[in-house]
Amino acid sequence: MATNEALDRSARVHIAGHRGLAGSAIWRALSAAGFSDLVGARSSEVDLRDRAATFDYLLSTRPDAVVLAAARVGGIVANNTYPAEFLSENLQIQVNVMDAAHAAGVQRLLFLGSSCIYPKFAEQPIRESSLLTGALEPTNDAYAIAKIAGIMQVQAHRRQYGVRWISAMPTNLYGPGDNFDPENSHVLPALLRRFHEAVESGADSVVLWGSGTPRREFLHVDDLGRAVVHLLDVYDEPETINVGVGEDVTIRELAETVADVVGFAGEIVQDTSRPDGTPRKLLDVTRLRALGWEPRIPLREGIESTYRWFLEHRAEARL
């Protein structure tokens, strides 16, 4: 793999989506790494679905680098319920930001995707070369297609304009700033809230959607932030690169860990009428580790710190 020179710490870096789960962690990591000129705009200030507004913003701020972490995201229910919006809005955001970045002369860009880009029955652990080798998981195929289009746009810009744009595909993320909505969130924050409320109400059981047998990998968002900084410094290839921990657990095991952290001692009941999604989704992170990066936050430790954050920030958390 080719490497590029480290990104200058005085470079102006725009983080699109800097108030979200991933974007805020990337901001923290860049700041901790010594970057002194970070910029971002709330969605209320610049709607990235608005092409003219996106162009105006990037042409006025003129960043040296862009991290594209803005997206419409959600769990299995949200993806399955609103596929049109997940496809359309993510395509709009990506095309607008990348086209505006090109117009502003941005030479360095990192596009953040998702591990759902890979085929439903990809060989495990999933290598980057598995992209476009099989059918997608139907419950989130619209979101996956949008993210695949983003990878293609990065590669097209590299090929046509010679810019050092890259893409990274993280596994399931969690951590401070997550969405804890019981219907629209991802599985880990949804479970944290569900078990917390069960303890508060004195419930003797909690329902777990699906069979509990699918296996998932979970990456603390602050580990993702450090990975993004590392990739901006050392990676320069057209092929996307996986970001994960290289280990997974069953959804049932995850639920039992969350229950233990929260202090729920009742019964966990499986609702098998709910969809399971992809049976397993574990990323092969050999290429990232070969570049010298390793995750630092074990799953239980990350769940404990995320639960503490939830308790401390319930007033402003997305509930």
The answer to whether residue 29 is domain-embedded is yes
Total domains in the chain come to 1
| Cα 294 to Cα 86, 223, 226, 241, distances in angstroms | 31, 8, 9, 14
- The arithmetic mean of pLDDT across residues 178-192, rounded, is 85
| Segment 252-266 mean pLDDT | 98
Q: Using CA atoms, how far apart are residues 277 and 136, in angstroms rounded to an integer?
A: 10
| Residue at 257 is within a domain | no
Q: Residue 33, CB half-sphere, CA atoms under 13 Å: how many?
A: 26
Give tens-digit pLDDT for 107-162. 999 999 999 999 999 999 999 999 999 999 898 899 999 999 999 999 999 999 99
> Is 7 domain-assigned?
no
CATH code for the domain in which residue 21 is found: 3.40.50.720
Flag whether 198 is in a domain.
no
In the predicted model, is pLDDT for residue 88 greater than 80?
yes
Compute the distance between CA of residue 252 and CA of residue 73 in angstroms, rounded to an integer. 23
Whether 131 is in a domain gets the answer yes
Tens of pLDDT, residue by residue over 49-78, are 999 999 999 999 999 999 999 999 877 777
Structure-token pair, residue 79: 């993806």
Indicate whether 60 belongs to any domain. Answer: yes
Find the domain containing 65 and state its range. 12-177+218-246+281-297
- What is the per-residue pLDDT for 50? 98
Residue 39 maps to a domain: yes
User: What pTM did the predictor assign?
Assistant: 0.94
Nearest to 139 by CA among 24, 310, 279, 298: 279
- Give pLDDT, residue 117: 96
Is 266 part of a structural domain of the chain? no
For residue 189, is pLDDT > 50?
yes
Catalytic machinery residues: 143
Q: Please, which pLDDT band fits residue 4 given cuts at 50, 70 and 90?
A: low
